[in-house]
């Protein structure tokens, strides 16, 4: 999955992008965070072939809330 090593060609591409951005590399992600993401990705509901239509419903609901909200500051 995503926690596997990058293929060498992709690693070189990412290094070139970092160089173009002035050498700023992002801070490494904490191991606890990476483990939590892996656990979420391994859930049965995230496997290929599962119904993920709920994502569309959540996104539509979020957009409707944002459209009707008022900025307080």
Contact of 41 with 4, CB cutoff 8 Å: no
Q: Is 25 a member of any domain?
A: yes
Q: Is 46 a member of any domain?
A: yes
C-alpha distances out from residue 7 to 4, 13, 24, Å: 9, 10, 21
pLDDT value of residue 22: 73
pLDDT in tens, 5-59: 667 777 788 778 777 777 666 677 888 998 998 998 888 888 888 888 888 899 9
Q: How far apart are CA 21 and CA 18, in angstroms?
A: 5
User: Which of the two residues, 1 and 35, has the higher pLDDT score?
Assistant: 35
Q: Is 14 a member of any domain?
A: yes
pLDDT value of residue 64: 92
Residue 1 has pLDDT above 50, yes or no: no
Per the confidence metrics, is the pTM higher than 0.85?
no
pLDDT value of residue 46: 82
Q: Is 34 a member of any domain?
A: yes
Q: Is 3 a member of any domain?
A: no
Structural domain boundaries enclosing 41: 8-68
Q: Is 1 a member of any domain?
A: no
Q: How many domains does the chain have?
A: 1
**Torsion of the alpha carbons at 35, 38, 43 and 46, rounded to the nearest 10:** 150
């Amino acid at each position: 999955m995503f926690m596997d090593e990058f293929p060498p060609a992709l690693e070189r591409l990412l290094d070139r992008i970092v160089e173009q951005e002035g050498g700023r590399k992002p801070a490494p992600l904490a191991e606890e965070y990476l483990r939590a993401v892996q656990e979420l990705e391994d859930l049965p509901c995230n496997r290929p072939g599962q119904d993920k239509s709920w994502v569309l419903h959540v996104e539509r609901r979020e957009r409707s809330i944002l459209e009707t909200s008022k900025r307080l500051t």
